[in-house]
Every structure is written in C-alpha cells, then in structure tokens.
Structure 1
C-alpha cells in the first residue's frame, strides 16, 4: 500500500492485536499491540499500550511502551511511560515523561544518513529538545 494523499490507519481503544504490524502509511494506535510495529509515522494515544519494537520515520508517543524504539524524529509526551532503549535523530521530551532505558543517536544504524549542510557528516550531533 502506498501513502497517496496522507492515508492513515487507526487501531481503536477496544482493539488488541497480537502480532507484528507493517504499514507503509501513518498509524494511530489507541488500543493494545503485542508485537513489533514498523510504519511511516506513529501516533500513540494516552490510553494505549505497545509491547514490542517500534521502527518509524517519526513518532509521537503518549501511552505505555515496553520495547525498543528506533525513530528518526521522536516526540515523547508527558503522559508516556517507556521501558526500553530509544534510538533517534531528533528527540523532544515533555517534562513528566517516564523513560526507563538508554538514549542513543541513530548514527551508525542502517537508517538514512544526516544531510550535510556544510558540517562534517560524522561530527553532526543528533537534536535533543526538552519541552516544558
């Protein structure tokens, strides 16, 4: 499935999925997923729970996550409770978010290389923002 015109899929609060999810479109999760998720963009609702690995281009997390996260552009909202390691290119964390794991830049991973805007590619630091 291609992503024509901003298509997205929703997993409602009354849905539990046991198994991996692969989506070429954006995904909004309000339910419970026990399995790995790979998608273009992930938006997680406050009452949702994900148990598994998350891989996405961008993600906005606000529920419970138990597993590793590998996302280029990551926003962790204050209601998020993450248990697992986090890899990112850019990271924004709201005050009050709970993370039990390690943070590491995606450098060296098989993701897209950072753009070189006059700076040396290898010396470029990942972005980190703390939101109030």
Structure 2
C-alpha cells in the first residue's frame, strides 16, 4: 500500500505494519467483528464491523451491517451505514445506506443510495 492517494496530494496513514485479516470467498460470518488491523472481505458478513484501520470489501464481498473504520474501500456490495474518515466506492460496486465521512470518493459506474454526512477528519474510533 502506498502512502499517497491517486492524486498524490493527500497523505494517508500507512497501516501496512498493522497486519491483515482476510475473509475469503465462500466464507460467511454472522456476528460483529472488532479488530485493529486491516480487514479484507471477499466472503459474506452479516453483522457490524469496527476497525481502527482499513476495511476493504472485495469484488465478491458482501456486508450487511454497519462499518466503522479509518478508511472503507468498497468493490462489492454493502447494505448498512458506513462511517470513516475516507470512503471509496469503486467501479461496479454498490452501497445502500447512509455514509458519514470527511472524504467520499465515488468512481464512475458505482452505485450509492443513501445520505452523505460530513465527519470531522481523524476522529478516534472507540473500540467497544
């Protein structure tokens, strides 16, 4: 992971030292997840996710629940609230639910249905 965004103007935190948890395609989890490392989802999660790092929903990933993280990247489908400093909804992905973020990036051919609310940058996410 790089330290710069695509336009090389915004410096992002480097979470590469935090480690990675992966939920593989074909896996399904029912329940809440709380973690402090990066999380990559290619399976199905029904429940809430709280992380102080980056949560990525891969192209085959599906999340039905609230996600709170430093950064959320969606390539698959999310149904529920998203709250992060940075939310990226990539091409051919779908988000249905409200988003609270300080920076929202919608790529061409992405789908977002809900409200977007401004968040103060770098608010600490309380782990409960």
Smaller-chain TM-score bracket: 0.7 to 0.9
Q: Give the Cα–Cα distance (whole angstroms) in 2 for the partners of residues 30 and 88 of structure 1.
A: 23
CA contact (8 A) 2:70 2:122 kept: no
Scaled by the length of structure 2, the TM-score of the pair is: 0.79
Q: Give the Cα–Cα distance (whole angstroms) in 2 for the partners of residues 50 and 81 of structure 1.
A: 11
Q: Deviations over 1:72-110 (max 9, x none)?
A: 011110121111001101111101111110111114x99
For 1:1-132, what aligned pairs fall within 5 Å after superposition? 5-39=17-51, 40-107=53-120, 111-112=123-124
Could you tell me which runs of 5 or more consecutive residues in structure 2 were left unpaired when the two chains were aligned. Answer: 1-14
Q: Give the Cα–Cα distance (whole angstroms) in 2 for the partners of residues 51 and 97 of structure 1.
A: 18
Q: Which has the higher strand share?
A: 1
Q: Which has the larger radius of gyration?
A: 1
Structure 1 SS opposite 2:70:
strand
Aligned residues: 109
**CA root-mean-square deviation:** 1.9
Could you tell me which runs of 5 or more consecutive residues in structure 1 were left unpaired when the two chains were aligned. Answer: 113-132
Shift of residue 5 of structure 1?
2.3
Shift of residue 4 of structure 1?
8.3
Q: Give the Cα–Cα distance (whole angstroms) in 2 for the partners of residues 87 and 10 of structure 1.
A: 25
